[in-house]
């Protein structure tokens, strides 16, 4: 598992692991300080490579098994959602119009 760290602050991306409702579909991730030597239970993520396109990944929350969903729509922030390989065209409360692309990350190495 990996942690997603803000390089400027050292804070880690995660969800509150103390309440069941915060490990559910639609949870908004938070950025909080690392506590001690190890990350909190809600802060580790798995990086799962996609079959296509090459070099893309899904970021899966270790504790809930849900994927980080992002959006270019400023009215819809990041949330944890089930893995999606299609676009929800119904705009139902369940799919909310999410696309597979909103879960796909491309990582770019940087020099630190």
Local confidence pLDDT in tens for the 112 residues of the chain: 888 988 889 899 998 877 777 677 788 898 988 877 777 778 899 999 988 778 889 999 988 889 998 887 788 788 888 887 777 777 776 567 778 888 888 877 666 5
Phi first, then psi: what are they for 5, rounded to 5°?
A: -115, 135
Task: Determine if the pTM surpasses 0.95.
Answer: no
Burial of 3 (C-beta count, 10 Å sphere; 0-12/13-18/19+): middle
């Amino acid at each position: 598992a990996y942690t997603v760290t803000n390089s400027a602050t050292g804070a880690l991306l995660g969800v509150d692991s103390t309440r069941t409702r915060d490990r559910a579909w639609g949870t908004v991730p938070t950025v909080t300080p690392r506590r001690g030597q190890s990350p909190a239970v809600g802060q580790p993520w798995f990086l799962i490579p996609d079959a296509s396109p090459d070099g893309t990944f899904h970021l899966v929350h270790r504790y809930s098994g849900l994927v980080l969903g992002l959006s270019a729509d400023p009215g819809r922030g990041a949330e944890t959602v089930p893995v999606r390989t299609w676009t929800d065209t119904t705009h139902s409360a369940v799919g909310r119009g999410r696309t597979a692309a909103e879960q796909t990350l491309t990582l770019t190495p940087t020099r630190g």
